[in-house]
Structure 1
Amino acid sequence: MYISNLKITNYRGVKETRSINLARFSSVVGKNDAGKTIVLNAIATFLDIKSFTITQTDFNDLSKPIEFEFQFSSDSISDLLETKVKSKVKKTEGLDEFINDLIFDNSIIYKRIAYNIGKSWSEEHILINDFENSEIQGLYFKSDEEITAIVEKFGIVIPVEGKGRNSKAEKIKFIKEHFKDEPRANFWIPDDMKISSLFPEVEMFKADYGLEADTKFKTATVTEIEEYFSRVEDRLVIFKNEINAEMKKEADILKTYMQEYASNLLDIDISPNVAWKDAIKSVDVSFQFAGDDKFIPMTHKGTGYRRLFMVARFRYLAQKSKGNNIIYLIEEPETFLHPTAQQDLLNALKELSNENQVVTTTHSPVFAGATHIEGVVLCTKRTQSNYENAVEGNEREFLFKIIDELGIKPSFNLRDNHESILFVESTNDMKFYDIICRKLLDFNLIGNPKVLVLPFGGGADIDSFLNLDYFDNSGRKLFLLIDSDKQQNKQDSQHQKAQDYINRKQNAQAYVIFRSCIENYYHPRCIERVYDCELETFPNFTPEDNVKTLIKNIVSEKGLGYKNIREKNNFKIFENMTVEEWQEVVEEELLDFLVLLK
């Protein structure tokens, strides 16, 4: 579940309601003090008001309430609601109709209102589609007597199935069927079902604090240790029994002493309350770099190193898939980071966003340029903070606004000895094609003085528009290499994209790879060899397979999780594939295309 839209009213620099669309990975861009951080703080407060309390300064106008309206989306929203709603009732017949009334385009819409400062909400409501007629409105919240009265008044036939009476929800199902042509509208209702418990957790990372202050790293790590104690509870029983035995000895000695004063005392029992999860109160992080005589606490290192640790931490979270259903809010992630490290952090965050949601504020062209256009939010300020998303038909105009706002210029300078420019979708694609060139074609792609390789982000990303237009008149040969995305049935649109590129450019060629994406080129025997698995553990992957999901399922089914087999962008596999294995999976047409760059 992720936030696809939020509306903010009377909060900080926002006076009147402002609507903001978000994607799985979003970047909020704009000048300083325009109101970028307002978005992050609004999300943090909405999801965790106890940690991100409403204060007096949060009210733009103290005479009016703060209102947040959030839209949460998920492909499995119906299943999520079903688990929550059906756990609250005994009979579930007819509840599917109630759940459907709460869903709007695979989303639920929820409102929270604060009239006063504090750590709790004054009102919480969820949106429902219901009858306009007040007599039959709010059926699920009427008493059994009221439902029976409606049935009798309108002569609605309720078939009785099985033993006993029909459930209230089942009666409502037939009432709704009877009034199916009655006008309906959307209404806010109290969240009596506690659907808010389905909302994601939230982690906030501020730009102006040290890592230990703004990442909950210690809290998260202690949580992992608690989970470890839970997993090894059987082994810990041995220690607990030894502790109890020692306490028994002490109790017996104390009994003999105390019986001298209280002869009627029979026994003493000392039972320690052993809570292993409380054994670790905090976790300290230290580094030892070349030239250091000892480990240096992270707090004594520069902020740049602490931010690099954050990069590593996010990569770890993404690989472990820990924190499913968490929204990560990151303020200016580029702060204190060299541009190369920015790219590393970006890759980690995008991987994290595969299963969670990541929202950043940024001044960095690296981050803004790699965010899909649907996830970019432009923040400006006049009389109040304003937010703008791309809408269908104005994407190009919106992109140039972003470019003007950030002052983005292409991050690669042309040098006269580059004869060709190759556009690929990502830095991982660039590394993948370089391995093929080295192993099968006997030349380097990366670092080749004749070829400039540019990752452009793919699709409608900012860099794809910017760089392709910028290099249009460079006089060099232009090459475009993109995935077929067959697993998503997008191969036709990808081929059309390649053809449009050729038609639009002079001296340009394009190729769409035969397999869906680079993971489809894994050779199964190499996976088994690298990770010491039994032969035939993994199948030969077809061009259309969702390889990442297949590997994940096989690892789960066969209990191979301890081997840490990375299913996405696994260059350990690619680097260890033999020439023969590469020849089995790579199509000749791709090799012919790459040879043109030699």
Structure 2
Amino acid sequence: MYISQLKITNYRGIKNTREINLAKFSSIVGKNDAGKTIVLNAIATFLDIKSFPITSTDFNDLNKSIDFEFDLKSENIVELLESKTKSKVKKTDGLEEFIQDLVFENSIIYKRVIAGPSKLWNKELILMNDYVKEEIQGLYFKTDEEITAIIEKNRIEIPVQGKGRNSKAEKIKYIKEYFKAEERANIWIEDDMKISTLFPDVEMFKADYGLEADTKFKTASVTEIEEYFTREQVRFQVFQQEINTEMKREANILKSYMLEYASNLKDIEITPNVSWKDAIKSVDVSFQFNGDEKFIPMTHKGTGYRRLFMVARFRYLAQKNKGNNIIYLIEEPETFLHPTAQQDLLNALKELSIDNQVVTTTHSPVFAGATHIDGVVLCSKLEQSNYENAIIGNEQEFLFKIIDELGIKPSFNLRDDFEKILFVEGQDDGTFYKLIATHLLESDLSKVLILPCGGSSVESFINIEYFKKNGRELYLLLDSDKGLKVRDPKKPILQQQIVDNFNTNFGSAYSLKKSNIEYYFHPSALKRYYFNLKDEKIEIFKDDDDLKEFFKDKGINKKHNVEIFNTMTKEEWQEVVEQELIDFLTMLK
């Protein structure tokens, strides 16, 4: 579950309601004091008010409440809601139909309201599509007697025959049929079902302390240790039994001594109260570098080192795939980092955002340039903080606003012997196309400058606009993303729009026939690389299959794609690569 949109009212520098759209990986850009951090703090407080309480200084106007309204999206939102609502609405009472009234385009819309400084919300509400007429609002929460009363009052006829004729769900069905012409609207209802317990956890990293000892890192580490204690309960029960045995032995000795003073003593029992999860109170991190005689606490090292530790930390979290339901809020992740380390951190965060959500504030062209346009938020301040997202039709205008804001200038040094420039989505894509050219065209594309541009990211538009004036022929190769059409129907359309725009305004572009480069894995290559698949029956992947679950089930790691492609023979390349792609690459020879 991740936040796709939030509305903030009367919070810090925001007076009137401001609406912000987010993606799984988002970058908020803008000048200092424009209101970027407001968004991170609002998310943190919305998800964990006990750790991020509301104070008097958080109110723009102390006489009004702070309102947070969040859209939380998930591919399996119906299953999640069913797990929380079935205690309030039984399946036989129309649970499935009830849940549909809570879901808006794979999202739930939730509001939290607070009237004064506190760690508790005054109101927690969820949006439901329901009847405007109060008499028939909340049908699924009404008792059988109330449902029967509605039927009798309105003389609603219910057939006596048929399965389920006496069930509450059946009665509600006929009530809704009778009132189908009645006006419906989206209405806020109290969250008596505790749907908020489905919300993601949150971790926030501020720019000013860069993973000091008092940051969330310690909390997260202690949490991991608690998870270990929970997971290893059987082993710790053995330890506890040994402790109890030792305490019994000590009690017997004490009893023998005490009987000298109290002859009526029958027995002594010493019972230790063991709480393994409380065994670790804090976690200290120390470094020892060349030239250090001993380990130096992280708090005694420079902020740059602490930020480098954060890079490693996020890479670890991405590898561990921790949580699957965590939102990471990171303020100015580029602070104190060398540009190459910025790129390493960026890679870690983007990998982390596959299963979680990552929201950053940044002044860095590296971060903003690698963020998909749907995840870029431009923040400005005029009387109050304002936020802007790209909308359909103004994408390029929006991108140039980002360029003006960040002062981005292209940093590529072109070598004079490059005759053509090929823009690709990522570094592995460039290797993929070179391998095809080598095997099928007997060319290494040595006269082509291949530049990863992130597809529809900010950086891609900036670079292409710049290189248009460079005098070299420009080419673009993009994934078609056909396999995402069910999960994200807009993505294939957007990719094709980019290709069409490039063909019209810049040069020659081609969208892969298959969804992305991993769809070109030859089954034989997969079986060679993954020993556990050697007996599997795997067909050549179809162009628009959704392979996410297949890859996950088979243990196929897309990070190994170059290594897999390197094992493929000329004949295998010929089987999986379409002629149109070969023709396009021929133009680059």
The normalised TM-score by structure 2 is: 0.89
Superposed CA deviations along residues 520-566 of structure 1, whole A, max 9, x for unmatched, are: 344556656656536325835524354443231134xxxxxxxxxx6
After TM superposition, the structure 1 stretch with the greater mean CA deviation from structure 2, 352-361 or 509-518, is: 509-518
Superposed CA deviations along residues 50-81 of structure 1, whole A, max 9, x for unmatched, are: 11110111011111111111111223222221
Residues 229 and 277 in structure 1, CA contact (< 8 A), matched pair in contact too: yes
1:39 to partner: Cα distance: 0.7
For the residue of structure 2 that corresponds to 1:393, the secondary structure is coil
Written as runs of structure 1 = structure 2, the 5 A alignment for 1:117-516 is 117-158=117-158, 166=166, 168=168, 170-213=170-213, 215-433=215-433, 450-459=447-456, 461-488=457-484, 497-498=498-499, 501-505=502-506, 508-516=507-515
For the residue of structure 1 that corresponds to 2:189, the secondary structure is strand
Residues 435 and 574 in structure 1, CA contact (< 8 A), matched pair in contact too: no
1:587 corresponds, among 577, 581, 588, to 577
Change (3 A) 1:126 1:572: same
Distance 1:534 1:106 in 2: 35
1:90 to partner: Cα distance: 5.2
Change (3 A) 1:159 1:341: farther
For the residue of structure 2 that corresponds to 1:421, the secondary structure is strand
Letter of the 1:63 partner, please give it.
N
1:196 to partner: Cα distance: 1.2
1:497 to partner: Cα distance: 4.9
Distance 1:284 1:444 in 2: 51
Distance 1:215 1:525 in 2: 48
For the residue of structure 2 that corresponds to 1:212, the secondary structure is coil
**Cross-structure match for 1:559:** none
1:123 to partner: Cα distance: 1.4
Letter of the 1:478 partner, please give it.
L
Pairing 1:573–2:563 present:
yes
User: Percent of pairs identical after alignment?
Assistant: 67
Written as runs of structure 1 = structure 2, the 5 A alignment for 1:13-28 is 13-28=13-28
After TM superposition, the structure 1 stretch with the greater mean CA deviation from structure 2, 173-182 or 63-72, is: 173-182
Residues 519 and 569 in structure 1, CA contact (< 8 A), matched pair in contact too: no
Gapped regions of structure 1 (runs ≥ 5): 556-565
Superposed CA deviations along residues 120-159 of structure 1, whole A, max 9, x for unmatched, are: 1111211122222222233344454433322211122456
1:486 to partner: Cα distance: 3.9
Distance 1:441 1:425 in 2: 22
1:340 to partner: Cα distance: 1.9
1:114 to partner: Cα distance: 0.9
Change (3 A) 1:226 1:529: farther
Distance 2:164 2:437 in 1: 73
Letter of the 1:570 partner, please give it.
H
After TM superposition, the structure 1 stretch with the greater mean CA deviation from structure 2, 328-337 or 132-141, is: 132-141
Distance 2:526 2:110 in 1: 45
Distance 1:163 1:175 in 2: 17
For the residue of structure 2 that corresponds to 1:211, the secondary structure is coil
Distance 1:581 1:273 in 2: 68
1:574 to partner: Cα distance: 3.5
Change (3 A) 1:543 1:338: farther
1:519 to partner: Cα distance: 2.4
Change (3 A) 1:586 1:283: farther
Letter of the 1:268 partner, please give it.
I
Distance 2:56 2:204 in 1: 21
**Cross-structure match for 1:34:** 34
1:407 to partner: Cα distance: 1.3
Residues 440 and 570 in structure 2, CA contact (< 8 A), matched pair in contact too: no
Distance 2:512 2:136 in 1: 58
Distance 1:188 1:432 in 2: 51
**Cross-structure match for 2:488:** none
Written as runs of structure 1 = structure 2, the 5 A alignment for 1:525-564 is 533=532, 535-536=534-535, 539=538, 541-544=540-543, 545-555=545-555
Superposed CA deviations along residues 74-113 of structure 1, whole A, max 9, x for unmatched, are: 2322222111110334564222222222222222211111
1:518 to partner: Cα distance: 2.6
Residues 521 and 585 in structure 1, CA contact (< 8 A), matched pair in contact too: no
Residues 31 and 380 in structure 1, CA contact (< 8 A), matched pair in contact too: yes
Tell me the matched-pair count.
Answer: 582
Change (3 A) 1:434 1:203: farther
For the residue of structure 1 that corresponds to 2:476, the secondary structure is strand
Residues 8 and 68 in structure 2, CA contact (< 8 A), matched pair in contact too: yes
**Cross-structure match for 1:563:** none
Distance 1:160 1:2 in 2: 46
For the residue of structure 1 that corresponds to 2:93, the secondary structure is coil
Letter of the 1:504 partner, please give it.
N
Residues 49 and 120 in structure 1, CA contact (< 8 A), matched pair in contact too: yes
What is the root-mean-square deviation in Å for CA atoms of aligned residues? 3.1
Residues 425 and 458 in structure 1, CA contact (< 8 A), matched pair in contact too: yes
Letter of the 1:278 partner, please give it.
D
1:225 to partner: Cα distance: 2.2
After TM superposition, the structure 1 stretch with the greater mean CA deviation from structure 2, 374-383 or 82-91, is: 82-91
After TM superposition, the structure 1 stretch with the greater mean CA deviation from structure 2, 163-172 or 339-348, is: 163-172
After TM superposition, the structure 1 stretch with the greater mean CA deviation from structure 2, 253-262 or 399-408, is: 253-262
Residues 530 and 576 in structure 1, CA contact (< 8 A), matched pair in contact too: no
Distance 2:162 2:75 in 1: 34
Distance 2:564 2:177 in 1: 58
Change (3 A) 1:405 1:230: same
1:164 to partner: Cα distance: 11
Pairing 1:520–2:519 present:
yes
Residues 483 and 512 in structure 1, CA contact (< 8 A), matched pair in contact too: yes
Residues 95 and 170 in structure 1, CA contact (< 8 A), matched pair in contact too: no
After TM superposition, the structure 1 stretch with the greater mean CA deviation from structure 2, 411-420 or 68-77, is: 411-420
Residues 131 and 183 in structure 1, CA contact (< 8 A), matched pair in contact too: yes
Change (3 A) 1:140 1:500: closer
Residues 533 and 554 in structure 2, CA contact (< 8 A), matched pair in contact too: no
Superposed CA deviations along residues 306-360 of structure 1, whole A, max 9, x for unmatched, are: 2222222222222222111111111111111222222222222222222211111
Distance 1:221 1:584 in 2: 49
1:588 to partner: Cα distance: 8.0
Letter of the 1:463 partner, please give it.
E
Change (3 A) 1:283 1:584: farther
